[in-house]
Each structure stands twice: as C-alpha cells, then as structure tokens.
Structure 1
Amino acid sequence: MATRDLVLSALFAAIIVALGLVPPIMLGFIPVPITAQSLGVMLAGVVLGAKRGTIAVLLVLVLAAIGLPVLSGGRGGLAVFMAPTTGYLIGWVLAAFTTGYLSQLLVSHSQAGFVQTVNFFVAALFGGVIVLYVCGISYLALVTGLGFSKAFMGSLAFIPGDVLKALIAALAGRAVMVGYPLLPQRA
C-alpha cells in the first residue's frame, strides 16, 4: 500500500473520529444512539473506495479497542465491543467496503454530474444503510434477546437520518470528484 493510501485512510479515520464528537442522541426505546459517525463511514467508502475506506474504518476500531475515546460519546476500550451496538461497529467495516465497492462499480468520470450523484447515493444507501442495518439489527436481536421484529421496528426511527447521511455522502463524493480530480482512482 502506498504512502498516499495510508495518509488518505488516516485522514478519513480522523473524520470518523471527529464526527464522534457530535453528541449521541438516545431514543430510549432501543439501546442504540443516533450518531454522526455512520456518515463518516459512508464518506470513507464513497470518496476512498472499498480498500482504503475499509482501512479507515478498521483504524478507528483499532483505536477504540486500545482504549482511545474515539467513538461517539467518548467511548473506547474493549467494552464497546461487548455492547448492544457492537453489530453496528462490525457493520461499519462491511458498510465501508460495500459503499466503496459499489461506488467504484457505479461511478465513472465520464458520467454526467447528476448520474454520478445518484450512483453515489445508491452506493451509500445500500452499503451505509442496508448493510449496516443488517449487521446491527441482527446482532442487537441476538444479543439482547429483543428478537428480529422488535429490533427492526426500533431501528426504523434511524432510517430518515441515515438516508439524509447517504445524500450528504453522495453530494460530498461528487464534490470531491469535481474539486479534486487528482485523487487517484478509488481502490
């Protein structure tokens, strides 16, 4: 892996950590808060692609595992991987990879701007919402004993915000393609 790839992955890891400074919002009926960090996961996939986006997320999770307070609400340490939200943290890795892979597959420089934005949105929506929810809801249902239907119903409150995050990620992905054409091919 080239130095540039490592720097870009570290930069997006820092963006994900910075989005963790936005205070989490607890809903009360499900033990999973609304956080801004999933936007960072989508951005990493859209802008960096599958490989570098996944590395950025893995870097954040390694920092959390060694005890640094990099997750929303200043959380860190191995205990965060024993919580009801662990499925979402695991899902971040798959979400970044899927979003990046779909972005690489669906978006090209030869497309019109609107088409690029729509394709980025589809990639962020599928990877950053659907894949993330499958991981998070499955883990939540199994570990807490809520059952899949209750975990799914409780997670519905997050969908409007996550769709908005996917739109923001799509617009950012398009802006990076236009504003920073020297960014190497997403990989």
Structure 2
Amino acid sequence: MTTRDIVLIALFAALMAVLGIFPPLTVPLIAVPITAQSLGPMLAGGILGAKRGALSMALFLVLVAVGLPLLSGGRGGLGVFAGPTAGFLFGWIVAAAVIGWLTERSWRSLGPVTAFLNCVIGGIVVLYAIGIPALAFIAGIPLWTALSGSAPFLPGDFVKAAVAALVIVALKRSYPLVEARG
C-alpha cells in the first residue's frame, strides 16, 4: 500500500464524516434514519475501487467506534454497533467493496448506466441484504416488517446511486483512480 492509497482512504473516511453533517430524517415506525451517508460507500467503491473503498469505510467505522460523533445526528461510540442500524453500518464496508469490484471489472466500458447499476447492486441490494436482517434481529421484529419499513428509503437511495454514478463517470474521465481488472 502506497502513501497515496493511505491518503485516499483517509480522504474518503473524511468524506463520510462530512456527509454526516447533514441532519438525519427519521421515518416514524422504524428506527433507521434517512442520511446522506449511504452515498459515501457508493462514491468510495466507485472512485477508489474495491480494496481502498472498503478500507475507507472500515477506517470511518473505527473512528466512530472510538467515540467520534461522525454519524449523522452526531452519533458515535460502540453503542451504535448494537443499535438497529448496525447492519447498515457494517454493510457500508461490503457495499463499497462490491461497488469497487464491479467498477474495476466494467472500467473500460464504464458509463453512467453501468456506474448507476454498480451503485444499485452494491449500495442498495447488498447493503439492504445485510442491514435489513440485522435490523429485524436487533429490533426484534419480523423480517417482513423490517423489509416493508425500509421501502420508503428506496427512492432516496436511487437518487444517491444516480448522483454517485455521475460523479464516478466524471472522475473517470478527468482523474481516474480505479484500475481496470478482469
């Protein structure tokens, strides 16, 4: 790992902290807030690639675990990893890795549609596949209730995927950071 890699990982962990400044919107009946931070793994994976994107999310979560109030709403500390959002928090690492992996494999033909699909697969499908079962387990609610309670988040997540895709493609053209694989 080069100094450049370390700087980029730290930069995207800092970007996650900045995205946490936006206040969360809490949906009644479900404990998971709508935040801007789910945009972070999409950008990290799509811009940095699988390894560096996942490491940036892991670094961010380490900073949260040591007590820095970096999550939306000024939350931080070990307690957030026992709360209903814990699955989504850990899912950020996997989401960034999946988006990065998909981006690396589609790099030569990467356009807005492909970048959007990569973000949807990793940043919505994979993230929800990890976060919703954890939410159901931690909150002690049926999986179907957690799944249907997460539906209001989908439109915003699709918008975030579109924004991330446009940023990823723009950076690919001007300042590529991901290397093509496969």
User: TM-score per shorter chain, which class?
Assistant: over 0.9
Is 1:148 matched with 2:143?
yes
Give 1:157's aligned residue. Answer: 152
Q: Would you say the 8 A contact 1:87–1:140 is kept in 2?
A: yes
Give 1:185's aligned residue. Answer: 179
Give 2:44's aligned residue. Answer: 44
Give 2:179's aligned amino acid: Q
Q: Would you say the 8 A contact 2:49–2:178 is kept in 1?
A: no
Q: Would you say the 8 A contact 2:43–2:168 is kept in 1?
A: yes
Q: Would you say the 8 A contact 2:20–2:37 is kept in 1?
A: yes
Give 1:81's aligned residue. Answer: 81
- TM-score normalised by the chain length of structure 1: 0.93
Give 1:41's aligned amino acid: P
How large is the Cα RMSD of the aligned pairs? Answer: 1.3
Q: After the TM superposition, which parts of structure 1 deviate over 6 Å for at least 4 consecutive aligned residues?
A: none
Aligned length: 181
Give 1:179's aligned amino acid: S
2:33 alignment partner, SS class: coil
Residue 185 of structure 1 deviates from its aligned partner by 2.1
Give 2:47's aligned amino acid: V
Give 1:22's aligned residue. Answer: 22
Unaligned runs of at least 5 residues, structure 1? none
2:34 alignment partner, SS class: coil
- TM-score normalised by the chain length of structure 2: 0.96
Quote the Cα distance in structure 1 between the aligned partners of 2:175 and 2:90: 30
Unaligned runs of at least 5 residues, structure 2? none
Q: Would you say the 8 A contact 1:47–1:186 is kept in 2?
A: no
